[in-house]
Amino acid sequence: MDKLNRIKIKGENFHENTTFEFTGAGMIIHLSLNINKDISKHLPSNLIFRGEKMLTYKLKYHLESKYIHRVSVQKVHDHLLKNAMRNIREAKIKVLEGEVKSLCSSFV
């Protein structure tokens, strides 16, 4: 039954890993991005899931039925995508800072 309420939309306006789940109270927008294992240590563990080939970082947002229209869905999707990309970028920075520290300490 859960699969019947989920749709995956392909188009230029949405990221390819976006899924829309329709519920009785509205819809849930799911967005997932693939990440490397070393980055996953710097992200919240409750938002990281093991996919078929890689780890995925997943964000979701519940949108009430009275707010579901093209503009609001697009804005929520863009907000989720920007947050996910920012969080992954910050995690990559932490990984690189750790690598720089380990390299500097090995030369001293």
Has residue 7 got a pLDDT over 90? no
Q: Which residues contact 8 (CB under 8 A, 6 or more apart)?
A: 18, 19, 20
pLDDT per position as a tens digit, 69-91? 989 999 999 999 999 999 999 99
CB 36 within 8 A of CB 55: yes
Q: Domain spanning 2-107 has what CATH number?
A: 3.30.1460
pLDDT, mean of residues 5-26: 82
What residue segments make up the domains of the chain, in order of their start?
Answer: 2-107
pLDDT at residue 1, as a whole number: 44
CA atoms within 13 Å, Cβ hemisphere of 62: 5
Instruction: Compute the distance between CA of residue 80 and CA of residue 29 in angstroms, rounded to an integer.
Output: 9
pLDDT at residue 4, as a whole number: 56
Tokens of 90: 């910050």
The DSSP letter of residue 9 is -
The DSSP letter of residue 10 is -
pLDDT at residue 45, as a whole number: 94
Q: Which residues contact 96 (CB under 8 A, 6 or more apart)?
A: none
Has residue 107 got a pLDDT over 70? yes
What is the value of pTM for the model shown? 0.83
pLDDT per position as a tens digit, 20-67? 999 889 999 999 999 999 999 999 999 999 977 889 999 999 999 999
Residue in 48, 28, 51, 27 with CA at minimum distance from that of residue 38: 48
